[in-house]
Amino acid sequence: MSKAVVAPARKYKRKSRFKEIWRRMKKNKLSMVGLCVFALFVAMIIFADLIVPYRIALEQNVWEQFAPPSVEHLLGMDQYGRDIFARVIHGSRNSLLMGIAAVFVGMIIGGTLASLAGYYGGKVDMVIMRISDTIFCIPFMLMGLSIVAALGPGLINVLIAITITAIPNYVRIIRSAILTIVGNDFIEAGRACGASDIFIILKHVAPNAVGPIIVQATMQVGTMIIFSTAFSYLGLGIQPPAPEWGAMLAEGKSYMLSAPHMIIAPGMSIVLVALSLNLLGDGLRDALDPKLKD
């Protein structure tokens, strides 16, 4: 007690931004669960053939139609005696990749349009925003259905439909993310210091705008999976016999009283993927912007 105790200056360790975000993410148990579950699904896509060969998903065993879950067939059999476990595993390729592809392509196109709008401003901005606002006025499912109606059913057509339909939303999200950053004082400060536009964009705008965009993208993948499976459920997506979660639900609908396992497994898969992505996105948002938490 005899020594002078000066208030310790807070130590600001210069951790990398990524490490800091990761540290905060790890604190959020639920989002880590989400990350793990999603990682499992991704592993499932990659190693699907190692888990169950694709032919099992198509092989029909007449003797085992509607067989309930058992040791040999973990999730039971469907109306043609096909192994539902194998179909769920291989269905993930169609359903999950659809969601990821739709968001990825949509974000790239939307991001380009939003950057053009944000960079050039004025008339370009107005035209892009007017068009995307108008498309935004058409309910999502309706717009998607119209495009599928025009293009005809099929996996790729559904992908095109939901991607185009989602673009206005992404343009909005990304443009507002850019604008909030550009309107900030530290950008002005950068300009005042004589930094070039490119430097400001790379050093300040991009890293700060990327956070909210990644969060949105993560959650959007879940939403897009639900939408794409809805199209398959309506019979407008991938055509049989290829396995797909939504299509499996449509097939199982007629037999759901006698063979509920036919709709439970694919449905739960969609819920699990979407939930894991939502948890992950939520955790990411909190980690990226801790002040939003309370």
Q: DSSP assignment, residue 16?
A: -
Closer to another protein at the Cβ: 97 or 135?
135
Closer to another protein at the Cβ: 69 or 267?
267
What is the number of other CB atoms lying within 10 angstroms of the CB of residue 84? 27
- The CB-of-203 to another protein minimum distance in angstroms stands at 29
Phi (first) and psi of residue 105, to 5 degrees = -65, -45
Provide DSSP, 32-53: HHHHHHHHHHHHHHHTHHHHS-
Closer to another protein at the Cβ: 46 or 149?
149
- The CB-of-104 to another protein minimum distance in angstroms stands at 20
162 contacts 224 by C-beta, under 8 angstroms: yes
| Whole-Å CA distances, 250 to 57, 83, 219, 256 | 17, 16, 25, 10
Closer to another protein at the Cβ: 66 or 140?
140
69-75 CB contacts, 8 Å cutoff, 24+ apart: 69/261, 75/261, 75/265
143-148 CB contacts, 8 Å cutoff, 24+ apart: 144/227, 144/231, 145/236, 148/231, 148/236
Closer to another protein at the Cβ: 2 or 16?
2
How many residues are present in the chain? Answer: 294
- The CB-of-190 to another protein minimum distance in angstroms stands at 26
Residue labelled with tokens 């592809």:
101
- The CB-of-222 to another protein minimum distance in angstroms stands at 6
What is the number of other CB atoms lying within 10 angstroms of the CB of residue 131? 14
What is the number of other CB atoms lying within 10 angstroms of the CB of residue 190? 18
Residue labelled with tokens 């343009």:
171
Q: Which helix (H) or strand (E) holds 58?
A: helix 54-58
Closer to another protein at the Cβ: 61 or 254?
254
- The CB-of-243 to another protein minimum distance in angstroms stands at 16
Contacts of residue 67, Cβ cutoff 8 Å, sequence gap at least 6 = 73, 76, 77, 81
| Positions in the binding site for another protein (CB under 8 A) | 1-10, 133-135, 137-152, 222, 226, 229-230, 233-236, 246, 249, 252-253, 256-257, 260, 263-264, 266-267, 270-271, 274-275, 277-279, 282, 294
Closer to another protein at the Cβ: 145 or 179?
145
- The CB-of-138 to another protein minimum distance in angstroms stands at 5
Closer to another protein at the Cβ: 207 or 260?
260
- The CB-of-214 to another protein minimum distance in angstroms stands at 18
- The CB-of-257 to another protein minimum distance in angstroms stands at 5
